[in-house]
Amino acid sequence: MDAPTPIDLLSLAREMIRRPSVTPRDAGALDVLEAALKRMGFACHRLPFGSGESGRDARVDNLYARLGNGKPHFCFAGHTDVVPPGDKATWSLDPFAGEVKDGQLWGRGAADMKGAIAAFVAAADAFLRAKGKGFAGSISLLITGDEEGDAVNGTVKVLRWMEERGEVPDMCVVGEPTNPERLGDMIKIGRRGSMNGYLTVHGVQGHTAYPHLADNAAHRLVRMLDAIAREALDDGSSHFQPSTLQITTIDIGNPANNVIPATAKATFNIRFNDKHTSKAITEWLRAKFDRAMGEIGSGGRYDLEIRVSGESFFTQPGPLSALVSDCVKAETNRAPELSTTGGTSDARFIRRLCPVVEFGGVGQTMHKIDERMAVSDLEGLARIYRRILDRVFA
């Protein structure tokens, strides 16, 4: 039997982009990936979780694929879901056509992160061809369809499934677009935590001409928000930027200009470093709110709901970050910065099981109109991933 034809990096990336897998939909993106991995000899497991049509328990499809049973076990993690394209008419090219133009691969997911997945698959294919039957370790891919959404039915549940089967990797690289400008800029070795607060303040409705008979919830809310927003949470730590708090919306929705509102709501997002836990921040918030409430007089009450997207985490620079750094440098001639900047990623879940670092493409166009990735970067990324596999299994 003839060996199957080699994986073509660009074709694989384009086929995935042509499946409009806006979270929580898969739209066939994982089928494309699974077919390529099966051809390479991977054992593939589709792991759908959740039952809803939309919302937090929306049904999401995931893929875990592994080749080999030996050690070391190297895992590549990523996601095939993408954020919505917005108004398609504002794109220079169709966001789901996967076109190549001016040396760039265009489309939603090109940078974040179908391109990186294709680069890794092509790298693994080239690596396995070169190794032949002498390969004794194992390579796996943990690909979720729920990274850009609530991340409830994605990586967390796949990891639990893997643990139950005793499939714990020895190390993991997440292919998120980590480079701010050029391939080789940055490896991520940690991320800040993220939490959202949903604050509802209750007062007493009344006539604006008779405020002594009412209790203005808007006045309370403004005081409370000022109490948490006026001072910085910290001034950063040795590996992290300062923590930040941003009020994202204030909602009163009072259509009458002569009515004192009984209820006022606000939402805020906190990105926090390793000086805090979400629990400590929640206590800090309550103390601030209680004091602000006291200052404005008795009466009134509030509800605070906290949703934690992830605690901050940090992987001490060690063998894995050194190995990945070396491979990036060998390919790009640049020493990447080891950073903890940016949003959250699924590395926050994986780090519980094994050392994890993140390295992928250039993030400049991610989540934007005209998302794209230079074909030369895709190829460079595949060569870096290939170097990583060569080193891990040397």
Active site positions, annotated = 81, 147
- Please, what is the minimum distance in Å from the beta carbon of residue 363 to Zn ion? 9
- Please, what is the minimum distance in Å from the beta carbon of residue 358 to Zn ion? 10
- Please, what is the minimum distance in Å from the beta carbon of residue 342 to Zn ion? 10
- Please, what is the minimum distance in Å from the beta carbon of residue 155 to Zn ion? 11
Pick the closer one to Zn ion by CB: 50 or 360: 360
| Interface of this chain with Zn ion, residues 224 to 263, rule: CB under 5 A | none
Pick the closer one to Zn ion by CB: 167 or 176: 176
Distance CA 184, CA 380 (A): 10
CB of 373 closer than 8 Å to CB of 115? yes
Residues 371-390 as x/- pattern, contact with Zn ion by CB under 5 A:
--------------------
Q: What is the dihedral of CA 64, 382, 109, 176, to 10 degrees?
A: 70
CB of 281 closer than 8 Å to CB of 270? yes
Pick the closer one to Zn ion by CB: 112 or 150: 112
Using alpha carbons only, what angle is made at residue 248 by residues 244 and 254, rounded to the nearest 5 degrees? 145
Closest to 368 (Cα-Cα) out of 164, 59, 109, 137: 109
Alpha carbon distances (Å) from 237 to 75, 109, 168, 342: 30, 33, 31, 15
| Interface of this chain with Zn ion, residues 170 to 189, rule: CB under 5 A | 176
Q: Which stretch binds Zn ion (CB under 5 A): 1-9, 52-60, 169-177, 336-344?
A: 169-177
CB of 237 closer than 8 Å to CB of 275? yes
146 part of the interface to Zn ion, by CB under 5 A? no
Pick the closer one to Zn ion by CB: 36 or 113: 113
106 beta partners: 372
The residue type found at 26 is D
Residues in the chain: 394
- Please, what is the minimum distance in Å from the beta carbon of residue 207 to Zn ion? 51
| Residue 297 host element (H or E) | none
Pick the closer one to Zn ion by CB: 109 or 261: 109
Residues 35-74 as x/- pattern, contact with Zn ion by CB under 5 A:
----------------------------------------
Residues 85-114 as x/- pattern, contact with Zn ion by CB under 5 A:
---------------------------xx-
The pair phi, psi for residue 315, each rounded to 5°, is -100, 115
Pick the closer one to Zn ion by CB: 23 or 138: 23
On the CB side of 260, CA atoms within 13 Å amount to 19
Closest to 59 (Cα-Cα) out of 145, 118, 139: 145
Number of residues near Zn ion (by CB under 5 A): 3
Q: Which residue has the closest beta carbon to Zn ion?
A: 112
Question: Count of CB atoms within 10 A of residue 330's CB?
Answer: 12
- Please, what is the minimum distance in Å from the beta carbon of residue 191 to Zn ion? 12
Chain positions contacting Zn ion, by CB under 5 A? 112-113, 176
